A = this chain, B = another copy of it.
Amino acid sequence: MTSIKDIAQIAGVAVGTVSRVINNSGPVKLETRRKVEEVIRRMNYVPNEVARNFKMQKSKMVALLLPSIWHPFFSELAYYIEDELDQSGFKLMLCNSGGKPEKELYYLDMLRQNKVAGIVGITYNDIEKNVGPEIPMVSIDRRFDRKITCVTSDNFEGGRIALQELVKAGVQRPVFIGAVAAMSSETMNRKAGFVHEAQRLGVDGSVFERPDPIMDEEAYFDEFFRIHPEADGVFAINDMFAAKYIDRAVKLGLKVPEDVKVIGYDGIQSHTYFHPVLSTIRQPVEAMARTAVQLLFRKMNGEGLPRETYRLPVIFRRGETT
Contacts and interface: CB of A to CB of B under 8 A. Distances in A.
A94 B247 CA distance: 35
Interface stretch (A98-106, A204-212, A223-231, A307-315): A98-106
A113 interface: yes
A6 interface: no
B96 A94 contact: no
Report whether over half of chain A's contact residues are helix, strand or loop; otherwise say mixed. Answer: helix
Nearest to A89: B106
A82 B94 contact: yes
A105 B33 CA distance: 9
A46 interface: yes
B273 A275 contact: no
A93 B60 CA distance: 12
B274 A243 contact: yes
Count identical subunits in the complex.
Answer: 2
Contact of A61 (B75, B93, B95): B93
A109 interface: yes
Interface string A240-261: 1001101100000000000000
Nearest to A68: B79
Contact of A69 (B49, B75, B106, B112): B75
Contact of A94 (B21, B30, B57, B92): B92
Among A47, A91, A240, A270, residue most surrounded by chain B Cβ atoms (within 10 Å): A91
Given A33-B105, A69-B78, A76-B70, A54 B50 contact: yes
A113 B70 CA distance: 31
Contacts of A91: 93, 95
A12 interface: no
A290 interface: no
A270 to B, nearest CB: 8
A30 B75 contact: no
Contacts of A275: 274-276
A184 interface: no
13 contacts: A21-B109, A37-B109, A40-B112, A41-B112, A46-B114, A51-B54, A53-B53, A53-B54, A54-B54, A61-B93, A69-B82, A72-B75, A275-B276
Given A21-B109, A34-B130, 4 more contacts: A71-B75, A74-B75, A75-B75, A94-B94
